[in-house]
Amino acid sequence: MRKSDITIQIKKKAQELGFFSCGISKVEFLESEAAYLERWLKNGMHGKMHYMENHFDKRLNPALLVDGAKSVVSVLLNYFPKEDIFKNERLKISKYAYGEDYHLVIKEKLSCLTEFIKGLVGDLSIRSFTDSAPVLEKAWAKKAGLGWIGKNGNLITQKVGSFYFLGEIILDLELDYDGSTTDHCGTCTRCIDACPTEAIVQPYIVDGSKCISYLTIELKDQFIPIEFAGKMQNWVYGCDVCQDVCPWNSFATPTNESSFEPNAAMNVDVLSSLTEDQFKNFFKFSPIKRAKYEGLIRNIQFLDSEKK
């Protein structure tokens, strides 16, 4: 098959699997991203996410992850819920965590797409990723024309905003490549103005150590730093503020992926009286398990202490 035909078939299959969009970029060293990442790490904006310091070269060069890598296939999967079930509640969970762990959902879909590609071209070096390896997902999605990286650090599309997950397939096969799109943030600063902890320190630069998502998920300390008291805006797992205020998300449409339907624990009453056994039961297949029971309770208690 010609590479143009293979490219068309890959994108068609991605759509059949439920991905919102699929774009393809040529493997190359991410030179501009290398300079940004180096400064970001040097300035300690990764907080205590020490894993971000590892595999610096691999993050910038997919050929170190897949032998002979030539192409990166990037996909987007919509997770925008039918209802913002925590709106105006005294406890809030980020929309991406309402349902099943996206790692599991996307891994299965990418596995199907990988097998499909093998069926088209035969044996080849190929690996799939979704937030599970040192891959700069947003950079590759941007190069594949799926969107631009906004002032809040999220990949944004004109069609549906930014409420979606990313995944990639890296393979040693030349394909037809898509061109990058242009930035459409313009003079808007809504995300910067709305960030409760001022984590967006300047346009396009996010200090991860100040982000509520970092504080409630990645930070494993016994206590959340007192400097953030009064700034959490009821978030106990993740934060959607910078996305909720983004004008492009007015175009967001509810996902058709049944795996992302809210599970039984997605209500304030359950969260408020959660036991460790219930946590393990309710969140066995949820991204919330990343915070662990102790972390989620710490976050809830921090909010309670704010109100006393």
Residue listed under structure tokens 């078939």:
9
Helix (H, G, I), strand (E, B) or coil at 101: coil
Residues 167 and 209 placed together within one structural domain of the fold: no
Residues 63 and 205 placed together within one structural domain of the fold: no
Measured at the CA of 165, the angle between CA 247 and CA 149, to 5 degrees, comes to: 50
For residue 132, the model assigns a pLDDT of 78
In a domain, 199, yes or no: yes
Averaged pLDDT of the chain? 96
Residue listed under structure tokens 């940004």:
36
Side chain identity, residue 100: E
Report the pLDDT averaged over residues 194-215: 98
In a domain, 73, yes or no: yes
Residues 143 and 15 placed together within one structural domain of the fold: yes
In a domain, 61, yes or no: yes
Main-chain phi, psi angles of 8, to 5 degrees: -60, -45
Burial per residue of 49-88, b for 16 or more beta-carbon CB atoms within 10 angstroms, e otherwise = eeebeeeeeebbbbeebbeebbbbbbbbbbbbbeeeebee
Side chain identity, residue 227: E
In a domain, 183, yes or no: no
Is 306's pLDDT higher than 80?
A: no
Task: Render pLDDT for 235-288 as a digit per residue (tens, 0 to 9).
Answer: 999 999 999 999 999 999 999 999 999 998 999 999 999 999 999 999 999 999
In a domain, 86, yes or no: no
User: What is the CATH number for 10?
Assistant: 3.40.109
Residue span of the structural domain in which 11 resides: 3-81+99-171
For residue 308, the model assigns a pLDDT of 59
From CA 183, how far away is CA 215, in angstroms rounded?
Answer: 29
Could you tell me the maximum CA-CA distance found in the chain, to the nearest angstrom? 67
Report the pLDDT averaged over residues 281-305: 95
Report the pLDDT averaged over residues 1-14: 96
Q: Cβ distance 257 to 104 under 8 Å?
A: no
Task: Render pLDDT for 40-67 as a digit per residue (tens, 0 to 9).
Answer: 999 999 999 999 999 999 999 999 999 9
In a domain, 93, yes or no: no
Q: Is 84 among the residues known to form the active site? A: no
Q: How many structural domains does the chain have?
A: 2
From CA 146, how far away is CA 156, in angstroms rounded?
Answer: 8
Residues 163 and 198 placed together within one structural domain of the fold: no
- Please pick, among 131, 172, 176, 244, the residue that the annotation labels catalytic: 131
Is 2's pLDDT higher than 90?
A: yes
Cα dist. 209→92, 155, 224, 242, 297 in Å?
A: 20, 20, 11, 16, 20
Residues 209 and 161 placed together within one structural domain of the fold: no
For residue 210, the model assigns a pLDDT of 98
Task: Render pLDDT for 104-133 as a digit per residue (tens, 0 to 9).
Answer: 999 999 999 999 999 999 999 999 999 878
